[in-house]
Chains A and B, each alone.
Chain A
Amino acid sequence: MRTIRIGSGAGYSGDRIEPAIELAEKGDIQYLVFECLGERTVALAQQARMKNPESGYDPLLEERMRAVLPLCASKGIKIVTNMGAANPEAAARRTAEIAKSLGLSSLKIAAVVGDDVLDACKDGDLPIMEFDGTIKQLGNRLLSANAYLGAAPMAEALASGADIVITGRASDPALFLAPMIHAFGWAMNDWNLLGQGTVAGHLLECAGQITGGYFADPGYKDIPDLARLGFPIGEVGEDGSLVITKVEGSGGAVTARTCKEQLLYEVHDPRQYFQPDVVADFSEVTVEEIGPDRVRVSGGRGHQRTDTLKVSVGYVDSYIGEGQISYAGPGALARGRLALEIVRERLKLTGVASSELRFELLGVDSLHGAEIAANANEPYEVRVRVAGRTESLREAVRIGNEVETLYTNGPAAGGGAWKSARDVVAVASVLLPRELAKPQIRFVGA
């Protein structure tokens, strides 16, 4: 049976780079995938592109490509990535320049475009899923609309000989599904194979989260050598069989437990994991440790895909102002609480307009609220945190100011004040009839 090995070289845009080099060097892989595009990143990238038409792709593109291209070129490892963000073609051109500067001029680089569906969303004035409203009602706050594309255009680019495939918004598991479809010729209506391939992609897409990252809990779930955490490899057979593993000697661990946690990560109904290419069903999945750092994952299935694609809509939501200050030693908690009361009253007295405010003590109740934390012991130090949502940056600035002025006007011995004010680009979703997204492949020569 034919088998391919796919390495996962990044789980988010800022991820570590050496584990990807390790995969290319020692992973015996044929494909290296970089998943670098968070929910809101494409909206921020779109803002960058509006300022400079040659920007709008992942800021670490150059560093990652320089790190892995020589190895990948010499070993024939194909790269698939969504580092194109809001500008896959510019990312492909930049990658071609990098390849050329490394003496790798024969590499074929493909950009997948067409995830930008802003016009189609406006034409249809589609309803927003998360709150009452439509695309048009966002008015000039609307920044971007990008459809989660499926695996087909990426697989087609690989079939056309691409060594590197760069997309913008695409479903994360589809980045991994594309090499499987290409290598094995899976039919785009073989729902069970696409479902099991989606299981593989979903397990791999967050890189270190399946090899022991986001997992360790000393005394309960110990993981060796997290500073040298190895990133995962999926060994996929043409029948969809899957083994998750990692480079021998790298840090971390691949166990039934790490695989179970990652299987359910960001999953809602396990019977219906909606993807552009399939509705995957994880409910019958089983995991089995078959060797050191080798876990077999079976039983993923699938059902016919839906008629719509999920679209991420980026928009300017609001502004957030924030301030922090610390208190320590005997009475720290009481002084922290007094500080919060003062700021609460000051924001009222000075008429700061906000639609939502949070008053909390880091180290006491900031993460899970006052109710869960009610019986906790008094800490040695606390950090006051006040955050508020406003309609303008000017108002947001005033919130942090009211915390900072506690230095000279508040409880005794407050130190380390810090403040910030920022605009909030948020993301909402709409469902677009799938035929309105028209992906295209553009080749760029190195």
Chain B
Amino acid sequence: MKLREIAHSRTGDKGNTSNISVIAYDARHFALLRDQVTSERVKAHFAGVVEGEVVRYELPNLSALNFVMTQALGGGVTRSLALDAHGKSLSSALLDLDIEPGPDDT
């Protein structure tokens, strides 16, 4: 299944750094997020967009992950050549990740 089926997401920007939250709709899916949406996978998914590193923070109280991606906004929001200089649309790309369903999700 797609990540979109179990999680929602929002992108924020600061300078040349983008952060993307991934929030489980249902707390029982947080373990799937934690196991499968790793910073390595996110970095691979955004190859060609993110030139820096991807760091993941966990917020179990919110069933959420927060990915912080450096060198991700074309040199910075205020100077980028990109159409979407803020990277607002990046969350939609992340929700297209494939997720292996858990035993309760089939």
Partner of A426, one of B64, B68, B76, B96: B76
- Stretch from A20-28, A82-90, A366-374, A436-444 forming part of the interface with B: A366-374
B81 with A368: CB separation less than 8 A: no
B14-71 residues at the A interface, CB under 8 angstroms: 14-17, 19, 21, 23, 25, 45-49, 57, 59, 61-62, 64, 66, 68
A201 to chain B, nearest CB (A): 15
Which residues of chain A come closer than 8 Å to B61, judged between CB atoms? 283-286, 299
Roughly how many angstroms separate A228 CA and B8 CA in the complex, as a whole number? 23
Residue of A nearest to B16 (CB): A130
Quick check: B78 and A265 within 8 Å, CB to CB?
Answer: no
**A356-B81, A385-B83 known; A266 vs B14 contact (CB < 8 Å):** yes
When each residue 63-104 of chain B gets 1 if its CB lies under 8 Å from chain A and 0 otherwise, what string results? 010101000000111110111100011100100100000000
Which B residues are CB-close (under 8 A) to A264? 10, 12, 19, 21, 23, 59, 62, 64, 66
Contact A387:B62 (CB < 8 A) given known A130-B16, A368-B90, A429-B15: no
Contacts A39-B77, A264-B10, A385-B83 hold; do A370 and B16 have CB atoms under 8 A apart?
no
A262-B10, A270-B57 known; A371 vs B81 contact (CB < 8 Å): no
Q: When the two chains form their complex, are residues B66 and A220 in contact, meaning their CB atoms are under 8 A apart? A: no
Flag if A268 contacts B79 (CB, 8 Å). Answer: no
- A30 contacts partner chain B, Cβ-Cβ < 8 Å: no
The answer to whether A39 and B78 have CB atoms under 8 Å apart is: yes
| B residues in contact with A368, CB < 8 Å | 46, 48-49, 89-90, 93
Report chain A residues within 8 Å CB of B89: 367-368
Known: A264-B19, A285-B61, A387-B81. A372 touches B48 (CB 8 A): yes
- Check A283 against B59 for contact (C-beta < 8 Å): yes
Contact of B62 among A39, A286, A385 (CB under 8 A): A286
A217, A268, A371, A425 — most chain B CB neighbours (10 Å):
A268
List of 4 A-B pairs having minimum Cβ-Cβ separation, nearest first: A266-B12, A369-B48, A264-B21, A426-B79
Residues of A within 8 A of B13 (CB): 266
Tell whether A427 is near chain B: CB-to-CB under 8 Å: yes
Number of inter-chain CB pairs below 8 Å: 125
B62 touches A287 (CB 8 A): yes
A257 within 8 A of partner (CB): yes
Query: Which residues 257-276 in A have Cβ within 8 Å of B in the complex?
Result: 257, 260-271
Please give the number of chain B residues whose Cβ is less than 8 angstroms from any Cβ of chain A in the complex.
40
Interface residues on chain A, size class: 35 or more
9 contacts between A and B (CB under 8 A): A260-B23, A264-B12, A264-B21, A264-B23, A266-B19, A285-B59, A286-B61, A360-B83, A372-B49
Chain B residues near A357 (CB-CB < 8 A): 81
Chain A residues with CB under 8 A of B75:
356
Extra inter-chain contacts (15) besides given A284-B61, A368-B89, A429-B15, CB under 8 Å: A39-B78, A40-B78, A221-B8, A264-B59, A265-B19, A268-B17, A283-B61, A285-B59, A299-B61, A366-B83, A367-B93, A368-B90, A372-B93, A425-B78, A427-B76
Give A325 Cβ to nearest chain B Cβ, in Å: 15
Interface string of A274-313 (1 = CB under 8 A from B): 0000000011111100000000000100000000000000
Q: How far is the CA of A188 from the CA of B45 in the complex (A)?
A: 44
Contact A261 B10 (CB under 8 A): yes
Please give the distance in Å from B57's CB to the nearest CB on chain A. Answer: 6
* Most B CB within 10 A of own CB, among A356, A357, A429: A356
Alpha-carbon distance A220/B23, docked complex (angstroms): 13
Complex CA distance for A197 and B99, rounded to whole angstroms: 37
By a CB distance below 8 angstroms, the chain A residues around B45 are: 372
Distance (whole angstroms) from the CB of A318 to the closest CB of chain B:
7
Q: How far is the CB of B63 from chain A (nearest CB, A)?
A: 8
Chain B residues closer than 8 Å to A358, beta-carbon distance: 81-82
List chain A residues, Cβ under 8 A from B47. 371
Contact B57 A269 (CB under 8 A): yes
Residues of A within 8 A of B49 (CB): 368-369, 372
